[in-house]
Each structure stands twice: as C-alpha cells, then as structure tokens.
Amino acid sequence: MKILGIESSCDETSVAVVEDGKTVLSNIIVSQIEEHKLYGGVVPEIASRRHCESIVNVTDLALKEAGVTLEEIDAIGVTYAPGLIGALLVGVNFAKGLALAANKPLVPVHHIRGHIAGNYISNGVKPPFLCMVMSGGHSHIVEVKSYTEFEIVGRTRDDAVGEAYDKAARALGFPYPGGVHMDKAAKLGNPKAYHLPKPKVDGNPYDFSFSGLKTAVLNLINNANQKGVEVSKNDVAASFQQTVCDMIAYRLIKAAKELHYDKIVLAGGVSANSGIRARMEAECEKNGFSLFMPPLKYCGDNAAMIAAQGYYEFIHAKTAGMDLNATASLPITDENFNCLL
C-alpha cells in the first residue's frame, strides 16, 4: 500500500511516497531555513507563501522519484496539527484538492505522531515502547502503546528543549536554528566549565522545565558582558548540552524502569543531537534497555515520517472528509476531525 505524505507545518515543504509504512520510495524536502535565518526565526507569513510556491513542484518530484503516478497512490496523508496555522493550511488544502481530484482517501496525521513514525521507516522498532519526542515545539515522554494509541507521561511546563537550544544559541551569536551549532560547539568545550541549574518540577517527576536553564545561560552571558569578561562559547555550549543530557537521561530511564518498558525510542529534531544520542546509548547499555533512534535525515521535519504514520492511521480507518481543517495546537492523544468511518 502506497501513501503520499505531505508536510508543511513549519519551514519545510516536503512530500514523500512510502510503501506499507516502512519503505521510503521518495522523500523530497525543500527547506526555507536560509530565508528565515535573516530574521532570526521562522516568519509565519513567509513560511505560508513559500509552501504555496513549492508544494506543486515538490509533489510532482516526489511522485516522479518514486516512479508512481497519482492513480497508483492508495491514500493521501497530510500533517493537519500542530504547527503554524497558515503553513498547515497550505498542506491541508492542497491534500484535500488532490484527494478530491484523484478520488483518494484523505488521512489526517498529527505531526508528533509522524516524528515517532520516523523510527518505523529506519530502524524497525515496533510499539509498545517509551518515546522521548523532542523538537522545536515539544518535549514529551510518551508511552506509545500501539501505532495509534499514545499516553503522555511527562512534558515540559514551559519551553521545549529545541526552543531552549535555539534561544541559548542566539545569545551566543549562532545563526537560526541554533541547535546544531550548539551541538558542534559543545564537542569542543568543557562540560564542567559552568554550573547550570537542573530544575525539577513539583507534582510529576517526569516533567521538564527548560526555561530556567535557558535563562541561566542568558544571565551568564549578560553578566560576563557587563563585566567585560569573555565567555567561551564552546564551554557554555558544552555545559548547556551536558545539563540537557542529564535532565533527559534521568527522567527517561526512571520512566522506563517504573513503567516497565524495555525499548526506549528518540524522535524529533533534537534527537539529532550527538550528545543526547551518545548519552542515551551509554545509559541504555548500562541499564539494559534497547535504544532506537532515527538516522539524522529522519530526525528533522520530513514527509516520509508523515506518510509512514499515515499508513497506520489509514489501516485503522482514520480518514477525514472535505471538512478537514488545520489545528495549530493539539495534544498527540487527540484527534480533531470527523472520522469518515
């Protein structure tokens, strides 16, 4: 069964064809990052316009590279939540048009479910497992009970981990998106150079707070500037990364032990981080868990992961009609469309 996946929730226009939820026949990604970099972050209006300009060509290319025609596609999966509303609307409306014109089922896909499915196309992991989803907008510990059943056991109370990375990076003078630059700098620095706070959250031991850590980095840089002291970017990045690794590893291992999971899975843009990957490999080895991570090309936003999740939503009869709308904010556990069946 071949699913055409469409992703336009943020600053990547991507279309992919994936067979049976695991074999990627094509995965075309057009990134807008170079343009948004000029403004230090994603400008929603520009994102929507660029999606409009690219989506037809990207779809043509995805079909061509997969060697299939639209007629040979079984269903059209599209990210409908969460994300920038204008950007999501481009993908959703385009998918509706395609589905109507080609008489194909329309499958709404939650973006974070898609990030988790990035693992199905790359490392063969099967639910149930415990997943740490970390991106620019989310930091969740999720029980993935089946391909379509989820329970959030831990979440950030404030900033997402990717957001904290990007803001700390900006304060250090790195271009947007700064996570990858922090990662590179961290490899060259001393992780013990600065002591940064590891906030715990009252009420839920698996919840995170990253805004305190971000603020501590901003204060450190401002104080040094006021005193005319130079901070080592590499040391700040390394200390920040070490703190993030400590926070994630502690909660994830604790949750896996207490909730009796033997498989730990990473997903989302920040799962590309070399420090987090190495730390989780070591922790899982030490504690006897199997660790699964997507290769770097499936960590960031891409439509192959949307088509993969779309396959599982489709075989569970989660199809929508022409009244499908985009939703800017929606928990992974929820669905916000009228199921056709």
Footprint of ligand KG4 on this chain (CB under 6 A)? 10, 115, 135-137, 162, 165-166, 177-180, 183, 268-270, 272-273, 300-301
Residue closer to ligand KG4, measured from CB, 98 or 245:
245
Q: Take residue 81 and report the two structure tokens written for it.
A: 């939540």
* Pair of tokens at residue 57: 């060509």
At which residue do the structure tokens 């707070």 appear?
A: 209
Which residues fall within 8 angstroms of residue 76, CB to CB, at 6 or more apart? 3, 4, 6, 95, 98, 99, 102, 104, 105, 106, 107, 310
The one-letter code for the residue type at 240 is F
Partner touching 162 among ligand KG4, Zn ion, none, CB below 5 to 8 Å by kind: ligand KG4
User: What is the nearest approach in angstroms of ligand KG4 to the Cβ of residue 72?
Assistant: 29
- Contact partner, 167, from ligand KG4, Zn ion, none, Cβ < 5-8 Å per class: none
Residue 310 near which of ligand KG4, Zn ion, none (CB within 5-8 Å, type-dependent):
none
Closer to Zn ion by Cβ: residue 112 or 186: 112
Total binding residues for Zn ion by CB under 5 A?
2
53: left (phi over 0), alpha (psi -120 to 50) or beta: alpha
Least distance in angstroms from the C-beta of 46 to Zn ion: 18
Q: Which helix (H) or strand (E) holds 310?
A: helix 303-315
118 touches, from ligand KG4, Zn ion, none (C-beta below 5 to 8 Å by class): none
- Indicate which of Zn ion, ligand KG4, none lies near residue 179 (CB less than 5 to 8 Å, by partner kind): ligand KG4
Q: How many CB atoms lie within 10 A of CB 53?
A: 14
Residues 276-315: x where in contact with Zn ion by CB under 5 A, - otherwise, as a string: -------------------------x--------------
Q: How many CB atoms lie within 10 A of CB 173?
A: 10
Which segment (36-44, 133-141, 160-168, 251-259) binds Zn ion by CB under 5 A? 133-141
- Choice between 189 and 269, CB closer to ligand KG4: 269
The amino acid at residue 72 is E
Smallest gap from Cβ 244 to ligand KG4, in A, equals 8
Distance CA 10, CA 1 (A): 28
Say whether residue 135 binds Zn ion (CB under 5 A): yes
166 binds Zn ion (CB under 5 A): no
Q: Which is nearer to Zn ion, 163 or 301 (CB)?
A: 301
The Cα 57–Cα 11 span in angstroms is: 16
Closest CB to ligand KG4 among residues 186, 253: 186
Rank residues 271 and 319 by Cβ distance to ligand KG4 and give the closer one: 271
Closest CA to 30 of 55, 5, 49: 55
Angle at 100 between CA 97 and CA 102, to 5 degrees: 100
| DSSP H or E stretch at residue 76 | strand 75-81
Instruction: Mark residue 176 as left, alpha or beta (left: phi above 0; alpha: psi -120 to 50; beta: remaining).
Output: beta
Asked if 143 touches Zn ion (CB under 5 A), the answer is no
Q: Which residues make up the interface to Zn ion (CB under 5 A)?
A: 135, 301
